[in-house]
Amino acid sequence: MPSGEYDPDTAEPRWQRRWVDEETYAYPDDPVDPNTAFSIDTPPPTVSGNLHWGHVYGSILQDIVARFHRMYDSEVLYPFGYDDNGIASERLTERELDVRHQEFERREFQQHCRDVCLEYEENFTEKMQGVGLSIDWNNTYRTISPEVQRVSQLSFIDLYEQGREYRQEAPAIWCPDCETAISQVETEDDERDSHFHDIEFGVAGASADADDAFTISTTRPELLPACVAVFVHPDDDANQDLVGETAEIPLFGHEVPILADDRVDMETGSGIVMCCTFGDQTDIEWYQAHDLDLRIAIDASGHMTDVADGYAGLHAATGAREVIVDDLDDVGALLDRRAIEHTVNVHERCGTGIEFLVTEQWYIEVLDRTDEYLEAGRGMEWFPDKMFTRYEHWVEGLQWDWLISRQRSSGIPFPVWYCADCDHEIVAEKSALPVDPLSDDPPVDACPECGHAEFVPEDDVLDTWATSSLTPLINAGWDWDENAGEFTMDRPEVYPMDVRPQGHDIISFWLFHTVIKCYEHTGEVPFESTMINGMVLDENREKMSKSKGNVVDPDRVLAEYPVDAARYWAAGSAIGDDLPYQEKGLRAGEKLIRKLWNASKLVESLASEPYPEAPADGLHEIDRWLLGELDREIDTLTDRLANREFSKARDGLRSFFWNTFCDDYLEIAKQRDDPSAAYTLRTAHRRFLKLFAPVLAHVTEELWQDMYADIAGTGDAVGADAGSDAAGDSIHLAGWPEPLGLDADTDAGVAAMAVVGALRRYKSENQLPLTAELDAVEVYADVGSFEADITGVMHVDDLTVHPDAEAPVETVITGIDLEYATVGPKYGDRVGDIESAIAADDYETDGEELHVAGVTLGPEEFSIEEDGQYAGEGKLLDDDVVVIVRNAVEA
RNA sequence: GGGCUCGUGGUCUAGCUGGUUAUGACGCGGCCUUUACAAGGCUGAGGUCGGCGGUUCGAACCCGCCCGAGCCCA
């Protein structure tokens, strides 16, 4: 029985432990009806450090969805994963153990990664449980685990067999310091001091009348030996005569074509730009679009190659650049040199400026099916709708197939070997997966192509997105059945999954890649819906970042506030919108928790039986009214939760509970002691607990256990919801309330509450205690059989109700309200005249019609605005529902 | 540089396909010891809806430009 104050510091950890220990949220092992199973593709956080507030925020939104559907549908699969096969986890491991990955054989280093990550993962688990997430901790996965490696390699082989993967020599982003290819997400922009150099290029064989030289501005003169073309914008009239000529590179002397391309930025430097293989992304595009030569001037370690003639062996950035600039100056080709600050693409790990190196890489073909992938995206329901646009633009703007190979030493290996003689690709047997070609033998003794018996293992590993894009299949238990010769699922009922929750920053990565991979493997869109949450900002609506020092530490917040308060705050967001962290939002949550606790105490003291029976002679009208209003709130709330309208759901329920239930109904119920009130108090209270349960997971559980769990569990409960309450011993396993559908006189209820409100205001304004007696009150409205309730709660000695009588008030016409929805379109620009005539009192009403400004409006087109004036004894409180009070106490 | 999104009282927000007086919460002022809660109740003040222009009888809402913020892609 709830007494005293609620103590979240002990209650919240207690329930969190119980939920885990008793496996409250376990998904059943037995097959589940696909119609009631609800599945969530939980985002697996990257194991690279500690959880931040953004994780907490996103997780709470997922959990609200999970808890709602667990009550509303039935079985919910809410799994959890740890993404620990990426470079971030390798770095964490190197940092923790103070080692370098190169010191180990691949499997050995992977083992170290697994050990280190395990510690962090335990910490993640603890944190997630501390937020009260209803995750099924029996269903967790690690992306570095053998099971997931098997899924990932199966995926590679399936796509390979479908002909959707190919190997090609192509430029890749390369870190010359770490000596590895990296993906674009591993790079970041950095402001660097640099120099802009104006360099004079010659025009080879220039005719006498043409210019024989032009200027190029560059920050990277050391790339001159790698120059393979010069570009001019097609709209650049001043330099158009150069197009078609041949340029001569200063110092190095080789000749390259001068071409036109609209990717040239005419605003930068001279508007003429050199294309080197490779200085930046655009160079790669030009190289491919114009089929240019390849001149590699910088090697894998960042030093100049033989292409750079006498500069070979010098380090490009720290040696060759200055020497080349000096030499250009000596031959008079350096026209100008000025200091600038510009943005450089660097490797986020070491800060080294990235290069582009041509290497052999594996790709998944995507460009040929963008139409299908667009259609697949349309096949999902998007919360919010507007986020689909990002997916759409990403797919429409795709320029490259998906590069999935990485030259890292840890990660999931490609299950591939090559014939040492003819380079024929040999793929592992599906039944043998997972394999590591570096330590496992290929499935054949001799090359099926040429018979050669020696093989070279592929030592690349898969892009981490190539694995994390399989989470729906991992969750569904996708595998290859060797005997049946087909792919199977342990839990086919969860696929496609009901919802993919994630941030909008990775729509183009995680979501897109998951959709296309699962689509190719199963022919189905992997999600019924996707829920895209916004970012968490700081109190000033700015992005949280370590450098700004405005990062919110989850531990600190949760030490100070109940988790339920944090959950209340998170539920205050419109899905897809960014949400600023606000302490006042958490404090408002605390207040609601306290209100719910105190109201529960009152309910218990007013109605001692947890499940009282409904009175045989029926419910009082006010009780039917309250339960009827609650029905409507349930309908509204259910729709809002189903549409992921968290903020509206939360605020609507809060208002109804606080204003209607606590302020109106409970105040009246306090004055009563009858079976109808007891039944209603308890029925409404149990329903409120359930409706709040998805958001306020802990306090509702505490109250439920205190007040209802014992009897609900025995099956002795009677009355509304008794059947579904008995289903489990946690409120989170109880059934979501269905509307009771009682007949209720809603209009009378609303009128009665208006009377009560008016009387309450009257007392407040006259500085009377709310318990003060009122001598006489007259009401000119139909309040049904609410009279006793009004007199009880407002302490009215003599209440007279005139349901049909004309109120003794004189109505004064104060104006005319136009029905703009009909008047506007009908009279168009004459509306202005009508309005000014009304304002000038220049109109006549004639029964049903209004004559104004030369037109006649029908009864549907206007309404008369009138004020009630009362000259009799007493005071008129409200002229909507006419309430007159005569009271001796009032001065 | 391109795309997408957001901008509503001091703060956070509701406002659906344009239509009377722009919603609620937090904070602020005043009043009320009322047998669940003073961390409560009642009540009041506070907004030219980022700016400018346009469409319209009528714009927070539709269109254009600009400013500020965020994300993604260059």
The predicted model gives A490-517 an average pLDDT of 92
The predicted model gives A24-30 an average pLDDT of 91
Across A4-61, the runs of DSSP E, i.e. the strands, are 38-39
The predicted model gives A560-581 an average pLDDT of 88
Distance A688 CA to B26 C1' (A): 24
3-state secondary structure of A693: coil
Is residue A537 within 8 Å of A544, Cβ to Cβ? yes
pLDDT at A7 over 80: yes
pLDDT for residue A693 = 95
Query: Beta strand A187-203 with A246-248: parallel, antiparallel or unpaired?
Result: antiparallel
Asked if residue A206 keeps its beta carbon closer than 7 A to nucleic acid strand B, the reply is: no
CB-based burial label for A501 (10 Å; 0-12, 13-18, 19+): buried
Token code pair at residue A177 = 């310091």
The predicted model gives A442-446 an average pLDDT of 95
Q: Highest-confidence range of A83-92, A122-131, A661-670, by mean pLDDT?
A: A122-131
Pairwise CA distance, residues A432 & A426, whole Å: 13
Q: Count H helices, E strands: chain A?
A: 26, 36
pLDDT digits (tens, 9 = 90+) for A619-654: 988 899 899 989 989 998 998 899 898 988 898 899
Confidence band of A407 (pLDDT split at 50, 70, 90): confident
pLDDT for residue A877 = 67
Nucleotide nearest to A399 (CA to C1'): B73
Q: Which of residues 626-665 of A touch strand B (CB under 7 A)?
A: 647-648, 651, 655, 658-659, 662-663
Q: What is the residue-wise DSSP string for A86-149?
A: SHHHHHHHHHHHT--GGGS-HHHHHHHHHHHHHHHHHHHHHHHHHTT----TTSEEETTSHHHH
Q: Which of A25-29, A90-94, A828-832 has the lowest mean pLDDT?
A: A828-832
Confidence band of A185 (pLDDT split at 50, 70, 90): low
Backbone angles phi, psi at A194, to 5 degrees: -150, -175
For residue A303, the cross-strand partners are A315
Q: Highest-confidence range of A15-19, A283-287, A790-794, by mean pLDDT?
A: A15-19
Pairwise CA distance, residues A673 & A605, whole Å: 11
CB neighbours of A575 closer than 8 A, spacing ≥ 6? A61, A383, A384, A531, A532, A533, A534, A644, A645, A646
Is residue A75 within 8 Å of A30, Cβ to Cβ? no
Asked if residue A352 keeps its beta carbon closer than 7 A to nucleic acid strand B, the reply is: no
For residue A416, the cross-strand partners are A427
Distance A565 CA to B32 C1' (A): 29
**Token pair 């633009």: residue:** A393
Q: Highest-confidence range of A318-327, A399-408, A544-553, by mean pLDDT?
A: A318-327
Q: What is the residue-wise DSSP string for A468-484?
A: HTTHHHHHHTEEEETTT
The predicted model gives A330-357 an average pLDDT of 81
Pairwise CA distance, residues A701 & A563, whole Å: 13
Is residue A410 within 8 Å of A422, Cβ to Cβ? no
pLDDT digits (tens, 9 = 90+) for A602-624: 999 999 889 998 998 889 888 99
3-state secondary structure of A532: strand
The predicted model gives A835-851 an average pLDDT of 76
Calculate the average pLDDT of chain A.
86
pLDDT at A498 over 50: yes
pLDDT for residue A352 = 82
Name which of A518, A564, A437 is nearest A132 in CA terms: A564
Q: Which of A160-174, A525-539, A818-832 has the lowest mean pLDDT?
A: A818-832
Asked if residue A184 keeps its beta carbon closer than 7 A to nucleic acid strand B, the reply is: yes
Asked if residue A389 keeps its beta carbon closer than 7 A to nucleic acid strand B, the reply is: yes
Token code pair at residue A170 = 């192509």
Query: Beta strand A255-260 with A227-232: parallel, antiparallel or unpaired?
Result: parallel
Is residue A180 within 8 Å of A407, Cβ to Cβ? yes
Angle, vertex CA A662, rays to CA A656 and CA A663, nearest 5 = 95
Q: Highest-confidence range of A483-497, A742-756, A774-788, A803-817, by mean pLDDT?
A: A483-497
Distance A605 CA to B37 C1' (A): 14
What is the value of pTM for the model shown? 0.87
- For residue A344, count other CB atoms closer than 10 A to its CB: 16
Confidence band of A204 (pLDDT split at 50, 70, 90): confident
Q: Please name the helix (run of DSSP H) or strand (run of DSSP E) that holds residue A855, with its range, or none.
A: strand A855-857
Distance A587 CA to B29 C1' (A): 22
Q: Which of residues 269-288 of A touch strand B (CB under 7 A)?
A: 281-282
pLDDT digits (tens, 9 = 90+) for A429-438: 999 999 999 9
Q: Which of A10-14, A163-167, A365-369 has the lowest mean pLDDT?
A: A365-369
ipTM > 0.85 (yes/no) = yes
Q: Which DSSP symbol is given to A622?
A: H
- For residue A741, count other CB atoms closer than 10 A to its CB: 9
Token code pair at residue A821 = 């929805």
Higher pLDDT, A832 or A242: A242
Pairwise CA distance, residues A654 & A657, whole Å: 5
Query: Beta strand A855-857 with A849-852: parallel, antiparallel or unpaired?
Result: antiparallel
Pairwise CA distance, residues A752 & A771, whole Å: 18
Q: What percent of chain A has pLDDT over 70?
A: 92
Distance A546 CA to B50 C1' (A): 29
Pairwise CA distance, residues A744 & A627, whole Å: 8
End-to-end CA distance of chain A: 45
Pairwise CA distance, residues A881 & A750, whole Å: 10
pLDDT for residue A891 = 37
Backbone angles phi, psi at A97, to 5 degrees: -95, -5
Asked if residue A194 keeps its beta carbon closer than 7 A to nucleic acid strand B, the reply is: no
pLDDT digits (tens, 9 = 90+) for A846-876: 767 878 777 887 777 777 766 666 766 666 6
**Token pair 């903020």: residue:** A647
Distance A477 CA to B57 C1' (A): 63
pLDDT for residue A208 = 47
- For residue A224, count other CB atoms closer than 10 A to its CB: 26
The predicted model gives A359-367 an average pLDDT of 89
Q: What percent of chain A has pLDDT over 90?
A: 40
Confidence band of A547 (pLDDT split at 50, 70, 90): low
Is residue A40 within 8 Å of A79, Cβ to Cβ? yes
The predicted model gives A556-568 an average pLDDT of 91
Q: Which of residues 595-614 of A touch strand B (CB under 7 A)?
A: 595, 598-599, 601-602, 605
Kindly report the bases of strand B lying within 7 A of a protein C-beta atom. 3-6, 11-15, 19-20, 24-27, 30-37, 39-43, 56-58, 69-74
Is residue A647 within 8 Å of A571, Cβ to Cβ? yes
The predicted model gives A176-199 an average pLDDT of 75
CA distances from A724 to A110, A652, A721, A766, A878 (A): 48, 25, 6, 49, 44
Nucleotide nearest to A655 (CA to C1'): B24
Residue with minimal CA–C1' distance to B35 is: A670
Nucleotide nearest to A504 (CA to C1'): B71
Torsion sign, CA atoms A471, A472, A477, A478 = negative
CA distances from A334 to A27, A196, A204, A212 (A): 71, 11, 18, 16
For residue A536, the cross-strand partners are A579
Q: Which DSSP symbol is given to A485?
A: T
- Interaxial angle between packed helices A646-655 and A621-642, expressed in degrees from 0 to 180 and rounded to the nearest 10: 170
Higher pLDDT, A770 or A430: A430
Torsion sign, CA atoms A169, A173, A179, A183 = negative
Is residue A623 within 8 Å of A680, Cβ to Cβ? yes
Q: Which of A397-406, A466-475, A658-667 has the lowest mean pLDDT?
A: A397-406
pLDDT for residue A550 = 74
Q: Highest-confidence range of A187-201, A213-227, A573-587, A859-873, by mean pLDDT?
A: A213-227
Backbone angles phi, psi at A49, to 5 degrees: 170, -140
Nucleotide nearest to A605 (CA to C1'): B36
Distance A586 CA to B9 C1' (A): 22
Angle, vertex CA A430, rays to CA A426 and CA A433, nearest 5 = 95
Q: Which of A120-134, A213-227, A348-362, A540-554 has the lowest mean pLDDT?
A: A540-554
Distance A79 CA to B48 C1' (A): 52
Confidence band of A164 (pLDDT split at 50, 70, 90): very high
pLDDT for residue A890 = 46
Asked if residue A587 keeps its beta carbon closer than 7 A to nucleic acid strand B, the reply is: yes
Higher pLDDT, A779 or A765: A779
Name which of A791, A768, A764 is nearest A779 in CA terms: A791
The predicted model gives A317-324 an average pLDDT of 89
Name which of A299, A292, A307 is nearest A252 in CA terms: A307
Nucleotide nearest to A592 (CA to C1'): B39
Amino acid present at A303: H
The predicted model gives A655-675 an average pLDDT of 88
pLDDT at A428 over 70: yes
pLDDT at A879 over 60: no
pLDDT for residue A711 = 81
CA dihedral A767, A768, A774, A776 (to 10 degrees): -10
Confidence band of A163 (pLDDT split at 50, 70, 90): very high
Confidence band of A211 (pLDDT split at 50, 70, 90): low
pLDDT at A192 over 80: no
Confidence band of A182 (pLDDT split at 50, 70, 90): confident
Pairwise CA distance, residues A461 & A182, whole Å: 12
Q: Which DSSP symbol is given to A204?
A: T
Q: Which of residues 140-179 of A touch strand B (CB under 7 A)?
A: none
Higher pLDDT, A854 or A594: A594
Q: Which of A112-116, A326-330, A461-465, A709-713 has the lowest mean pLDDT?
A: A709-713
Asked if residue A579 keeps its beta carbon closer than 7 A to nucleic acid strand B, the reply is: yes
Helix-strand-coil split of chain A, %, nearest 5: 40, 20, 35
**Token pair 């609800």: residue:** A38
Pairwise CA distance, residues A625 & A596, whole Å: 21
Name which of A249, A242, A206 is nearest A227 in CA terms: A249
Is residue A307 within 8 Å of A225, Cβ to Cβ? yes
Q: Which of residues 499-528 of A touch strand B (CB under 7 A)?
A: 504-505, 508-509
pLDDT digits (tens, 9 = 90+) for A771-812: 777 788 888 878 777 888 888 777 788 888 887 777 777 666
For residue A346, the cross-strand partners are A188, A353
Cis peptide leading into residue A278 (ω within 30°): yes
